[in-house]
Structure 1
Amino acid sequence: MYYNYYRVNNWQSILNFLQQSLYAEEMVCAMSSELYHIPETQDLKGNNEMHDHLVPASYHRVTSVGSAIRLVNGEQRQSIIATMTTCIVNAEKQDKGVREGLKVMEENASIEYKPVIRMIIRWQNQAESYLKQAKDSLQAMGVSFPSGSDEQGGEY
């Protein structure tokens, strides 16, 4: 099914928000994964559980960015929009688990590593904020979102 009611320049702002969200997610991934390689934090409680949600959250952000790139480049299928919106919803759902894991990590980190965990939390806040801005902008364009089931947007 094709659509003609969205202007291409709107997709660019959506893409920018999604790319900013993905960038922040990259920082969350890099910083939290580094903790596995520091003897004092390699077994930090909450990190494994957080990563159980971070990996699929990242997948859904990557897929939403790819979908937005396709739209910016002129592809015009409703299925691309459906893929993007479903992945945004799925990333939001996974972000809740990431946030819970980060809370456990902060509670269990030694005093010297609490600032690192707090920095990861700030990056996670940015990832979520930009994702919300993309979603809000899409809704303002008249794009509808699925109710939030994972089965529509990939295996994660």
Structure 2
Amino acid sequence: MYPYYYNYRQNNWEPILTLLQQSLYAEEMVCSMSSELYHIPQTKDLEGNNEMHNHLVPASYHRVTTVGCAIRLVNGERRQSIIDTLAACIVNAQKQDRGVRQWLGVMEQNASSEFKNFIQMIIRWQTQAESTMQRAKEAVRTMGVNFPEEGEGAAPY
């Protein structure tokens, strides 16, 4: 049987779950809008979109995982391994977010004027995804959770 980590038992995980769900929602918008560009003749080969998706896919995986961990914590599970997974996936999502942001900038620079506003909307959604993830991280940190250094995460990417 896995050891339980009782120090977090009295803490309220619901606000953290809400922030993580908000981050995931914003990520869903980034995924939807940037993937749509592949289906528009003028943007199907937009420079930077493939590279951005190379970061967006693992960022999305890590966001989904953080939400799953938070749901389990809200429902009363308290294993340290769940908390460690949540913390590592927050770090991993933030690492991938840096690549997403970098390549969104390339996309914006290379988009025709007709699509610049659309790319800027994707960037705003990405900003929302990042800011709510950071707020969740800060809330978790106030509970006494330590975060791993980059590279010590739950997955190798």
**2:89 is aligned with what amino acid?**
C
Deviations 1:93-115 (A, max 9, x none): 00000001100000000001000
Distance 1:13 1:112 in 2: 39
Give the alignment's TM-score, normalised by structure 2: 0.95
DSSP 3-state at the match of 2:108: helix
**1:41 is aligned with what amino acid?**
T
Contact 1:57 1:95 in 2 (8 A): yes
In the other structure, the counterpart of 2:63 is 61
Distance 1:118 1:9 in 2: 38
Aligned-residue offset at 1:8: 5.3
In the other structure, the counterpart of 1:27 is 29
Q: 2:87 aligns with which of 79, 85, 88?
A: 85
**2:105 is aligned with what amino acid?**
K
Aligned-residue offset at 1:154: 2.1
Contact 2:20 2:133 in 1 (8 A): yes
Distance 1:8 1:70 in 2: 15
After the TM superposition, list the runs of 4 or more consecutive aligned residues in structure 1 that deviate by more than 3 angstroms.
none
Count of equivalent residues: 155
Distance 2:117 2:48 in 1: 16
Give the alignment's TM-score, normalised by structure 1: 0.96
Identity of aligned residues (%): 68
In the other structure, the counterpart of 2:118 is 116
Q: CA RMSD in A?
A: 1.1
In the other structure, the counterpart of 1:142 is 144
In the other structure, the counterpart of 2:131 is 129
**1:109 is aligned with what amino acid?**
A
Instruction: Provide structure 1 residue ranges, at least 5 long, that are not aligned to the other structure.
Output: none
Aligned-residue offset at 1:20: 0.2
Aligned-residue offset at 1:149: 1.0
